[in-house]
Amino acid sequence: MPAQQSPAGPTVTGEALDASDASDPDVSDAAITPTPAPATGPAGPAPVAGPADGAGRTDGAGRTDAVSEASTATQGSPPVAPVVIRATGVSKKFISYHRRATSLKELFVRRGQASGDDFWALRDIDVEIGNGQTVGLAGANGSGKSTLLKVLAGILRPTHGEVSVSGRIASLLELGAGFNGELTGRDNVYLNASLLGLSRREIDRMFDSIVDFAELPHKIDDEVKHYSSGQYVRLGFAVAVHVDPDVLLVDEVLAVGDEAFQKKCLAKIEEFRRQGRTILFVTHSLDLVESICDRVLVLESGSMIFDGAPEIGTRLLRQRLGSLPSDGSVPYDAAAVRPVLATFARDPGGLPQVQFDPGEKLTVSLTLDLTQDAPERIYLHVYVLGQHDLPIWLMETPVGGIPSRPGLLTVDFTVPKIPELLGAFAISVHVSDATTGVPITKRRFDDLFGISGPQAGGLLKVDYEARARG
């Protein structure tokens, strides 16, 4: 039963699309940059197709359209390929709507003030993405994923820092940042593709294929404002993948489409991946991160808290999401799965004991009481907590969770050899639906068990030497 692998279950509940740009105070920003405004396309205004001349020409928004070919990342999981996307010290501040200056004078006066209503959606983001990488962008709702994509696509200007991208970027961003509603689907296709640098003839050639892919033959001459969100996203994705992009940025809008279309999109993403294009996509599906990403970036409150291997990133995410106070779970005594008992023994079902020695076997047994409303499969993670409830280690159920049935169920986590530790430990269990990842409940048990390590002070036994010098 005990397992160390990453389970497949928990993902964050999908976020509804926020059309945050509708009242975007940042539009004023956009208006003063020469970068085309968001109203013009699901495919973000891309820089000129990237010449590899390393000249690093910069447009007015501070974007360079060519990045040094030789550069590679120095942190996170270092891309070996040339860097195609680079963000350095990128921060993005939004100003709360009600605080917006209503006159030029007010704007001036406010300039020097530290405004309590400034909101930093991105904080000091450094990232380099190498050519051909498939990168997942994850994090809780509101953590800054969409903002980061928009900054990379050139739709939002960072408050601080720099962004450079080489090659043609196509992007499928949030619904609000997409097509012009007053134009027909056909006109939007032409507008978007031409913004990406395609000639009319090129667009003519691919037009039917775009409409086919979007499955919209009967709608293409309707104004886009009459499209459903699913139709809108289908057309946006179809354009984005047809314009032969080097870099594809995809927000979680894909979740809007039906399942068949999602499959088609994923197949396309997979095809792009094989063709060695660079992909950065937002996802709440930890399974997807593990199956197709070379790397995952995790945002939390606008900061990048992780950049690296998918297996580690998803683990971290599960942990973060599982331990968030506002995870949507209900109190343990009211939940459909109630953790009722925690016991410590040497062997599963063995005599409970409170004191253990390092090197000994330890079994933590959790008894759950499941009601009829419990989901089909549940997923547990169990933190062993030290002093001040500091998590010392984590134990999880296997990939996909465990089947649940009404009544009492005991899950044993066996540690074959207790590490060299000293102290008293408690445990905290988090339960979620293994299929959807939705948190169900969590409980910290007060019961303690002790480990009597050989050292007199401190938690951990570390080998060392003490020697006087001089």
Which among 60-68, 145-153, 214-222, 316-324 is the span making contact with ligand ADP, rule CB under 6 A? Answer: 145-153
Q: How far is the CB of 29 from ligand ADP (least distance, A)?
A: 10
At 389, list the tokens. Answer: 């409830």
Which among 18-26, 378-386, 395-403, 456-464 is the span making contact with ligand ADP, rule CB under 6 A? Answer: 18-26
Rule CB under 6 A: is residue 124 a binding residue for ligand ADP?
A: no
Distances (CA, A) of 168 to 23, 48, 135, 277: 28, 7, 17, 10
Tokens 């063709």, located at residue: 275
Q: How far is the CB of 394 from ligand ADP (least distance, A)?
A: 25
The option from ligand ADP, Mg ion, none interacting with 26 (CB < 5 to 8 A, set by class) reads ligand ADP
Stretch (H or E) spanning 392: strand 391-396
Which among 17-25, 110-118, 363-371, 379-387 is the span making contact with ligand ADP, rule CB under 6 A? Answer: 17-25
Among 35, 64, 133, 143, binds ligand ADP (CB under 6 A): 143
Do 14 and 255 touch, CB atoms closer than 8 A?
yes
* Alpha-carbon torsion (299, 303, 309, 312), positive or negative: negative
Rule CB under 6 A: is residue 188 a binding residue for ligand ADP?
A: no
Whose CA is closest to 129, among 109, 149, 110?
A: 149
Q: How far is the CB of 233 from Mg ion (least distance, A)?
A: 14
Q: How far is the CB of 119 from ligand ADP (least distance, A)?
A: 6
Spell out the residues 6+ positions from residue 177 whose beta carbon is closer than 8 angstroms to its own: 21, 38, 42, 44, 150, 155
Q: How far is the CB of 14 from Mg ion (least distance, A)?
A: 11
Do 414 and 348 touch, CB atoms closer than 8 A?
yes
Among 94, 356, 379, 425, binds ligand ADP (CB under 6 A): 94
CB nearer ligand ADP, residue 24 or residue 215: 24
Distances (CA, A) of 313 to 81, 297, 308, 384: 21, 7, 7, 20
Rule CB under 5 A: is residue 146 a binding residue for Mg ion?
A: yes
First to last CA, the chain: 55
Number of residues that bind ligand ADP (CB under 6 A): 18
Rule CB under 5 A: is residue 33 a binding residue for Mg ion?
A: no
Rule CB under 6 A: is residue 144 a binding residue for ligand ADP?
A: yes
Percent of residues in the chain assigned helix, strand, coil, to nearest 5: 25, 30, 45
Rule CB under 6 A: is residue 176 a binding residue for ligand ADP?
A: no
Q: Where are the beta strands (DSSP E) in 25-184?
A: 83-95, 118-130, 134-139, 160-165, 169-172
User: How many CA atoms lie less than 13 Å away from 128 in the CB half-sphere?
Assistant: 18
Among 6, 134, 146, 164, binds ligand ADP (CB under 6 A): 146
CB nearer ligand ADP, residue 146 or residue 285: 146
Q: How far is the CB of 110 from ligand ADP (least distance, A)?
A: 16
The option from Mg ion, ligand ADP, none interacting with 121 (CB < 5 to 8 A, set by class) reads ligand ADP
Rule CB under 6 A: is residue 15 a binding residue for ligand ADP?
A: yes
Pattern 50-69, ligand ADP, x by CB under 6 A: --------------------
Which among 12-20, 128-136, 330-338, 380-388 is the span making contact with ligand ADP, rule CB under 6 A? Answer: 12-20
Distances (CA, A) of 370 to 60, 339, 378, 400, 431: 60, 9, 10, 18, 11
CB nearer ligand ADP, residue 246 or residue 307: 307
Q: Could you count the other beta carbons within 10 Å of the beta carbon of residue 71?
A: 14
Alpha helices in 293-421 (DSSP H): 310-323
In DSSP terms, 362 is beta-bridged to 415
CB nearer Mg ion, residue 146 or residue 278: 146
Q: How far is the CB of 159 from Mg ion (least distance, A)?
A: 18
DSSP state of 234: H
Strand order in the sheet with 118-130: 118-130, 83-95, 160-165
Rule CB under 5 A: is residue 171 a binding residue for Mg ion?
A: no
**Helix, strand, or coil here: 436?**
coil
Tell me the residue nearest to Mg ion as measured from the CB: 146
Rule CB under 6 A: is residue 349 a binding residue for ligand ADP?
A: no
Do 240 and 213 touch, CB atoms closer than 8 A?
no
Rule CB under 6 A: is residue 117 a binding residue for ligand ADP?
A: no
User: How many CA atoms lie less than 13 Å away from 90 in the CB half-sphere?
Assistant: 28
Among 119, 258, 276, 331, binds ligand ADP (CB under 6 A): 119
- At 462, the amino acid letter reads V
Tokens 């134990």, located at residue: 395
Rule CB under 6 A: is residue 406 a binding residue for ligand ADP?
A: no
Rule CB under 6 A: is residue 12 a binding residue for ligand ADP?
A: no
Which among 19-27, 164-172, 400-408, 458-466 is the span making contact with ligand ADP, rule CB under 6 A? Answer: 19-27
In DSSP terms, 64 is beta-bridged to 58, 164
Residues 22-51 binding ligand ADP (CB under 6 A) are 24-26
Whose CA is closest to 27, among 35, 256, 440, 85?
A: 35
- Residues of this chain that interact with Mg ion (CB under 5 A) are 146
- Residues of this chain that interact with ligand ADP (CB under 6 A) are 15, 18, 20-21, 24-26, 94, 119, 121, 139, 141-147
